Amino acid sequence: MSSADQTGSTTTPTSSAGGTAIARAEVLVTSPDRNFVTLRLTTADGVVGLGDATLNGRELSVVSYLQDHVVPLLIGRDAHRIEDTWQFLYRSAYWRRGPVTMAAIAAVDVALWDIKAKLAGMPLYQLLGGASRNGLLAYGHASGRDLPELFDSIRKHREQGFRAIRVQTSVPGIDSVYGVAAQPSTGGRYDYEPAQRTALPAEEDWDTRAYLRHIPTVFEAVRSEFGPELPLLHDGHHRMTPIQAARLGKDLEPYDLFWLEDCTPAENQEALRLVRQHTTTPLAIGEVFNTVWDYQTLVREQLIDYVRGAVTHTGGITALRRIFDFAAQYQIKSGIHGPTDISPVGMAAALHLDLAIHNFGIQEYMQHGARTDETFRSTFTFVDGFLHPGDEPGLGVLYDDDVAARYPYQQAYLPFNRLKDGTVHDW
C-alpha cells in the first residue's frame, strides 16, 4: 500500500491562479531505512514540487498537521506566492513556532521553491542568488568503541573523500554513548541511527564526569595519529551544564576543533555567555531550534560560531535564509543539520541554500542507505569531500512511489538517557 493511500490526498480544481494553482497536495510516508514524511504539491499544469516534513520520532504528528490543517488551505493557491504562503501559514495559525508546525511550513515552502525553480528551468540555487562557491565542504561521522576502531573509521571516511570529520567514541563506564555506531561500518558507510524501530524508546545511561575525563584523551590521540590539518568536530548532544561545557571547551583547545556542537541544552541562550567567557573552542548550536527567535541572543551577542538549523525543521528555505542573513552580520556561519533523518529532499534543499549564501561554513553529510537513495532519486553529488546539488531544474529529487510503497511506516523512537541513579537526563 502506498503511503499516499494511508494518509489520503486532496484534489480540487484550479482557482484564479490558472496553471500555477496548487491542484493536488499529498502527504507521503515511507520507511525505506527509516521513516520519512514528504509533501508533494502538483500544480494545475502538472508541475511537481517536493518538501521534506520528517520529524524524527514524531513523524505522524507532522502528517496530521499537514493533512488535517494545511493541505485544505493550499488547494487553489498560486504556487508562485512563496512568501505570502509562508506568512499566511505562520501567522494565520495564531499558535506560533514549535517543531511540528515549522516542519509542516518547511515542507510547503521547499515544495513551492522546487516548483518555482522548475518553472524557471533552473536549479534552485540560481533563484537564491546563484552559486557563491564551487562545492560544499562536508563532514562525515567517524566513531568507535575504542581508539583502534575510531582510527579505522576515520581512515575509512578519509578514503571516501571526507576532508572534515566528526569524532564520537564510547566512554569507559558508560554502556551506550550517543553517536557511536553499534558495529563498525562494513561497507565503509557510517551506520549509526539513533532512532530505533521499537514500541517504546530505548533507555541509555550517562555519566558526565566520566565523559569529561575521557573526551580530551580521545582528541589528543586522534591529533597525534592524524596530524594538525584535519578539521575535527564533536557533538556534546546537549548533555552538559554551562560550567561543564566551559571546561570541555577549554580542555579541547589544544586539539583545535572545527566546532564543539550542542554543548548545553540551549533553550537558555544566556547560559552560553558563561561558556563563551571561558573557551575559544568554536561553538555550533541549533539542530533542535525552529525559528530565528531561538538564535536571537546567541547571534546578537556572538555566543556561537555556527548555526545548525535544518531547512526541514526551521520553516524551510525562506526562514533559514533569514537566520543565515542575520548571522552573517555577526560573522557567524552555517553548518546545516544533515543526519539521515533529514530526507534526500531536505538534504537537497540544504545544498541549494549552502551554495547560494555567502556565510556558508560546512555541511553535515551522514549518507543515506541504498533503499532511501532508491526511493528518493537525487542529483546531488559528493566528490573529493565536496557536495554539490547538481544542475537539474528545481531541487533535483524524484520520489519513486513504487519503491516507497514497499516500505510502510514503522513506529520508531529516539532513545533517552538516565543517570546512574535513575534520573532522566538530556539526550
Cell numbers given for 202 = 530505548
Residue 14: phi and psi, rounded to 5, are -75, 160
Q: Is the CB of residue 59 less than 8 Å from the CB of residue 29?
A: yes
Query: Using the rule CB under 6 A, which residue among 135, 140, 194, 309 binds ligand CS2?
Result: 194
Which amino acid does the sequence have at 18? G
Of the candidates 262, 260, 328, 264, the residue with the CA atom closest to the CA atom of residue 292: 328
Residue 200: phi and psi, rounded to 5, are -135, 155
C-alpha 103/C-alpha 251 separation (Å) is 37
User: Given the DSSP bridges, would you call strands 48-52 and 36-43 parallel, antiparallel or unpaired?
Assistant: antiparallel
Query: Using the rule CB under 6 A, which residue among 54, 56, 269, 363 binds ligand CS2?
Result: 56
| 37 strand-pairing partners | 29
Pick 78 or 261: Cβ nearer ligand CS2: 261
Catalytic residue among 65, 90, 139, 178: 178
Q: Is the CB of residue 344 less than 8 Å from the CB of residue 373?
A: yes
C-alpha 365/C-alpha 385 separation (Å) is 10
| Least CB distance to ligand CS2 at residue 129 (A) | 27
Sole window of 73-81, 85-93, 246-254, 336-344 interacting with ligand CS2 (rule: CB under 6 A): 336-344
DSSP states of 245-298 = HHHHHHHHGGG--SEEE--S-TTSTTHHHHHHHH--S-EEE-TT--SGGGGHHH
User: Which of the choices Mg ion, ligand CS2, none does residue 67 contact, using the CB cut-off of 5 to 8 A by kind?
Assistant: none
User: Which of the choices Mg ion, ligand CS2, none does residue 321 contact, using the CB cut-off of 5 to 8 A by kind?
Assistant: none
Q: Which residue has the cell 579505522?
A: 152
Is 191 an interacting residue with respect to ligand CS2 (CB under 6 A)?
no
Catalytic residue among 157, 234, 237, 337: 237
Cβ neighbours of residue 292 closer than 8 Å, sequence gap 6 or more: 319, 322, 323, 326
Collapse the DSSP code of 200 into the 3-class scheme (helix H, G, I; strand E, B; otherwise coil) and give the result: coil
Pick 141 or 156: Cβ nearer ligand CS2: 141
Cell numbers given for 188 = 565503509
Is 242 an interacting residue with respect to ligand CS2 (CB under 6 A)?
no
- 237 given a catalytic annotation: yes
Pick 233 or 357: Cβ nearer ligand CS2: 233
User: Which of the choices ligand CS2, Mg ion, none does residue 392 contact, using the CB cut-off of 5 to 8 A by kind?
Assistant: none
Size of the site for Mg ion (CB under 5 A): 2
What is the widest separation between alpha-carbon atoms in the chain? Answer: 66
Is 31 an interacting residue with respect to ligand CS2 (CB under 6 A)?
no
Residues 227-266 that bind Mg ion (CB under 5 A): 235
**Cα dihedral sign, 364-368-372-375:** positive
Sole window of 66-74, 91-99, 117-125, 337-345 interacting with ligand CS2 (rule: CB under 6 A): 337-345
Pick 86 or 139: Cβ nearer Mg ion: 139
Is 364 an interacting residue with respect to Mg ion (CB under 5 A)?
no
- 352 given a catalytic annotation: no
Residues 275-294 that bind Mg ion (CB under 5 A): 287
Is 335 an interacting residue with respect to ligand CS2 (CB under 6 A)?
no
Residue number of the CB atom closest to Mg ion: 235
Pick 26 or 52: Cβ nearer ligand CS2: 52
Which amino acid does the sequence have at 153? S
Sole window of 144-152, 274-282, 333-341, 379-387 interacting with ligand CS2 (rule: CB under 6 A): 333-341
Residues 278-307 that bind ligand CS2 (CB under 6 A): 287
Residues lying near ligand CS2 in the complex (CB under 6 A) are found at 56, 194, 235, 237, 287, 337, 339, 341, 364, 414
Annotated active-site positions, please?
178, 237
Residues lying near Mg ion in the complex (CB under 5 A) are found at 235, 287
